[in-house]
Structure 1
């Protein structure tokens, strides 16, 4: 990387807190090097408190843009000049593009999720999805799936801080897409079992299964799953979650963690910044192979 940096290097950031654990700098900098692009991607610990100054720095330093992660995905919106229509529907931003001082916000989590399914030659267009979780990632996945043409989505969420957001998601999907969305309480286990049995893909978009809830799952009975369905856990650490173990015990053919989504959401941001396709297979082999 040192050989690439010179007086013409263009800076791209990642603004979140905490963020030192992120794989994104390694992913993007290796992609830049592979394609011979004169960009550098750095992680910055940015909270809600210093977010305004950090966004100003994108303009001041003529950065090409930045990724945005928690806790800043919603708070950044008033600080931007424009929003991509999908980001406006989702109500969150994870990618900023700077065009000569005009900052536009995008969200690539949902497109990353959908593309990761295409990478596995799986098509859920016209099918039914059941998803647990209506936080940032769950919202992006559900709305992008609806935009792309998933026929029906059953959204499960706990009564709590994100319940109102879950209701908002359902209203937006029903009002602005051709998809039918229904909200259920995650505490209603009989409804969850019924909707999983009736869907093509079940997605866990909650934190259940990762630290500090590692080893836990919302679905512990293999009988809830069919062998011909898709089970997708957006968690990627650990690589095999308890949910995935339950699905594998049920003989489910298509069981995935969140590495494909992480890779493809990054690839979407990479293209927004550079206009070029990330060398996805090269990065997959470099970073994500066991």
Structure 2
């Protein structure tokens, strides 16, 4: 690094498992941009506050935000773009001469990931596990294109609050919460989207009955037990690598005002393709 090196990175906790470093640094090297993508762990809100204050320098151009700070960072920012305001969560931070702007690339990145694997989603029933920042982005991304979304979360209060917000913004879509996913009647062509950390340590989150003619998407980067279970009964599956790539590409384009080398980023990520 030199005094002219631009700084980007990943903010959250835990973040050691992330593949973002490899993707972004490979893209920066390929385009010969004098910048670096760093690990910026923030276990506590106080750590986040201190780090955000340090970002108001010309060397800092942006960062990705992940669990648990996609909502807690909002009061520390100067502006939110329209998408981040609508979703109520930030996954990308951009610095414009020290003015910190919150954006969200998760929603568009998720839809681009579905398109990459030719997963049809328009007018399909949607079941979402989770009600955090990622689930917010996914539901906002899908709501204009589908007729029904059902949300399950361990904290029903969070699920109900998300449903209230979604109903206000998308009156043409039906939103419901689910207390017990095992009692849900899975329709043909249902898309199940798993948006929680459950599965990282081998857990299987509570989920609706799986059927062959459905699609199961798990936003974790690995072949989780849920995906393996879905594959065994013949369902289509996709892990989180495609979404990771496409949301990262959007963030990169916002920071450096250029198109990122998707092929280079995909090779650096080097996922085991999990769509079937």
Could you state the TM-score of these two structures normalised by the residue count of structure 1?
Answer: 0.85
Q: Report deviation, 1:215.
A: 4.7
CA–CA separation in structure 1 for the residues paired with 2:88 and 2:157 = 13
Q: 1:217·1:242 contact (CA, 8 Å) conserved in 2?
A: no
The answer to which structure, 1 or 2, has the higher relative contact order (CA under 8 A, 6+ apart) is 2
Q: Report deviation, 1:43.
A: 1.2
Q: 2:58·2:98 contact (CA, 8 Å) conserved in 1?
A: no
Counterpart residue number, 1:164 = 157
Q: Report deviation, 1:7.
A: 4.0
2:262 to 255, 280, 286: 280
Counterpart residue number, 2:219 = 234
Q: Report deviation, 1:110.
A: 2.2
Q: Report deviation, 1:129.
A: 1.2
Gaps of 5+ in 2: none
CA–CA separation in structure 1 for the residues paired with 2:41 and 2:225 = 31
Q: Report deviation, 1:108.
A: 1.9
Counterpart residue number, 1:243 = 226
CA–CA separation in structure 2 for the residues paired with 1:273 and 1:202 = 32
Distance 1:101 1:20, change over 3 A: same
Q: Tell me the secondary structure at the aligned position of residue 278 of structure 1.
A: coil
Q: Report deviation, 1:141.
A: 0.9
Counterpart residue number, 1:152 = 148
Question: How many correspondences in the alignment?
Answer: 270
Q: 1:157·1:166 contact (CA, 8 Å) conserved in 2?
A: yes
Counterpart residue number, 2:206 = 218
Stretches (4+) displaced over 3 A = none
CA–CA separation in structure 1 for the residues paired with 2:161 and 2:188 = 24
Q: 1:153·1:179 contact (CA, 8 Å) conserved in 2?
A: yes
Q: Report deviation, 1:77.
A: 0.6
CA–CA separation in structure 1 for the residues paired with 2:189 and 2:153 = 17
Could you state the TM-score of these two structures normalised by the residue count of structure 2?
Answer: 0.89
Q: Does 1:9 align with 2:24?
A: no
Q: Tell me the secondary structure at the aligned position of residue 49 of structure 1.
A: helix
